[in-house]
Amino acid sequence: MTALPFHDTTDFDDAARGLIGKMEPCVVHAADGRVVWDNDAYAFLDADCPDTANPSLWRQGQLCAQQGLFEVTDGIYQVRGLDISNMTLVEGDEGVIVIDPLISKETAAAALALYRKHRGNRLVTAVIYTHAHGDHFGGVHGVYRDGIPVVAAHGFMEAAVAENVYAGPAMNRRAEYMYGATLPKGPAGQIGAGLGQTTSTGSIGLIPPTVEITGTGQEERLDGVLIRFQMTPGTECPVEMNFLFPERRALCMAENATHNLHNLLTLRGAVVRDARIWAHYLNETIDLFGPDMDVAFASHHWPMWGRERVVEYLSQQRDLYAYLHDQTLRLMNQGYTGTEIAEMIEMPPVLEAAWHTHGYYGSVSHNVKAIYQRYLGWFDGNPASLWKHPPEAAAVRYVDAFGGASVVIAKAQGFIDGGDLRFAVELLNHVVFADETNTEARQLLAGVYDTLGWGAENGTWRNFYLQGAAELRDGVQPLPMELAGAPDLVSALSVGQLFDSVAIRVNGPRAWDSHLTIDWVFTDLRLMHRTELTNGVLIQDDDPARASVDLTVTLTRRQLLGLLAGAVRVDELTTAGDTTALRRLLSVLDPPPGSFPIVTP
């Protein structure tokens, strides 16, 4: 690996440029007094990098922990360091346009208040969501005023809901590992997440867009400010857009170019992103907007000034994703598997020598595997991998084949002493999965995870290792926040999506023998929906033919939500037919899931 370019301190200049005022103290509370954001907890990053952190990630933490209101260019401001994402404020004729209102209502309100403290009490005249990830819309209630336009790219609501609701419980649990939000912050603990410091934990909402951007080149004038859009579907998010403020020569890069190698597959889990398309759109951005801007900013990290610098930066970001894509495919077509390619790929020296291409959030290792997964899937083609025992069953057999847990632990200690922590993890993980009460193995594995976390340049790898270590020592703690349960997200679901979310809670085996058909007549939506439970699946029909059904339920959408949450009883609804059908359906639904074990069986 090339030596890190510590002599290049331009990022620190850029991250401090235009500072107008800090928030002091930089701590945000919920109405009940709970702390939902504490940037001051990162004050320890002012010190030199300790042995318990990778110097490159430590540096990234120092940059991401800068907080305050900053001027980007004339009439454009950013509040940074009040959440994992940035809020950008663009002053118009009458008030101010908000781009990306952070994750939580509380942090968004605090960011707007910080802006107003220095720029006057301007009214919010529009909201723009750059893309459909929760850290770019969740705090909208902290800035929204009734009736103002809310702007997003075509398909926004579907993308926002699909990513956050269907797989929400699994993603939330894994996000706890990824962001380390519950880990203690400190030199040996959580020092950031690479993309920002961590996620705020306040209340999440979603207000549907009222102005839809449908094509590249579309222009809108909001509060007197001209904005020219570029659609970038399938890049960092299925629905995302970059846009230019031509009158101010300023370019918003959404989350398509930030000061790190981003994720092609975020470790919390998601549908794999397309590196090829990502590079394609970055190239298009340079063509479309390159001549007309003097500054670029994004919804994470700090801006960059100077047309030539920005074009070089965007070109390198483009080359980063293109190189990973093309080289992975080249080696894949020679028969190498994702795990192998991840060890083989070396990045070009020019890219390695820039800071913004480093893997603080995505990594070359897991992105290469993601590209492999996108094209070829989980199976590496070797029949030995086709029908493996699951972890616990394999673990019991490994431990037995070695001659018992104490032998495996001794072998693992040998690999630790020899510096091969990766194989020590493999061995110790088998011991823990064979017998989770083996305290010696748990403690030893936790120690190895600490060391791996402290060495990681990637913030999310560090958090995964340290969270794993914490749970090996102290067990699984309850989740602090339920993203999937956020009322706005649930109420943003269409009736079809709502029943989809019911369908994925049907406990298949318990429902094998139930067959029932229910018509749902929604008085408020003026529509009818039929669900049929058959062979353990809930089939939907939004345009059912006349037929005899077991039960017809007449209700409102709100009553359905109440019914699913257990707040509305069956006998409170207007029904015709056999009400036991509804009770039978409810009885085969699994309760909403909570925390599940990850580093133990």
In the complex, the residues that contact Zn ion under the rule CB under 5 A are 85, 133, 135, 255
Residues paired with 296 in a beta bridge: 251, 304
- Residue whose beta carbon is closest to Zn ion: 135
Element (H, E) at 522: strand 516-522
DSSP string covering 224-268: TEEEEEEE-TTSSSSSBEEEEEGGGTEEE-TTTS-SS---SS-TT
β strands within 277-385, DSSP E:
295-297, 304-305
| Least Cβ distance, residue 290 to Zn ion (angstroms) | 24
Least gap, CB of 300 to Zn ion (angstroms): 6
- Beta carbon nearer to Zn ion, 54 or 85: 85
> Tokens 């942090």 label which residue?
107
Structure tokens at 139: 């705090």
Q: Least distance from C-beta 449 to Zn ion, angstroms?
A: 26
Rounded to a whole number of angstroms, the minimum distance from the CB of residue 163 to Zn ion is: 12
Identify the three-state secondary structure at position 59: helix
Looking up tokens 């003097």, which residue turns up? 294
Which is nearer to Zn ion, 133 or 141 (by Cβ)?
133
Looking at the Cβ atoms of 82 and 428, the one nearer to Zn ion is 82
Query: Judged by CB, which is closer to Zn ion: 85, or 88?
Result: 85
Write down the least CB distance from residue 43 to Zn ion, Å.
24
- Contact present, 268 and 171 (Cβ < 8 Å): yes
Distance of CA 134 to the CA centre of its chain: 7
Which CB sits closer to Zn ion, 60 or 328? 60
The nearest distance, CB 195 to Zn ion, in angstroms, is 7
Long-range contacts for 523-528 (Cβ within 8 Å, ≥24 apart)?
Answer: 523/554, 523/555, 523/556, 524/556, 524/557, 524/558, 525/495, 525/556, 525/557, 527/495
Rg of the chain (C-alpha set): 26
Beta strands in 39-102 (DSSP E): 68-73, 76-80, 87-91, 96-99
CB of 239 vs Zn ion, minimal distance in Å: 13
Question: Which of residues 84 and 272 has its CB atom nearest to Zn ion in the complex?
Answer: 84
Looking at the Cβ atoms of 223 and 255, the one nearer to Zn ion is 255
343: region left, alpha or beta (phi > 0 left; psi from -120 to 50 alpha): alpha
DSSP annotation string for 364-417: HHHHHHHHHHHHH-S--S-GGGTTPPPHHHHHHHHHHHHTSHHHHHHHHHHHHH
Nearer to Zn ion, 192 or 338 (CB): 192
> At closest approach, how far in Å is the CB of 241 from Zn ion?
14
Our CB check for Zn ion shows the closer of 178 and 588 to be 178
- What's the closest the beta carbon of residue 298 comes to Zn ion, in angstroms? 9
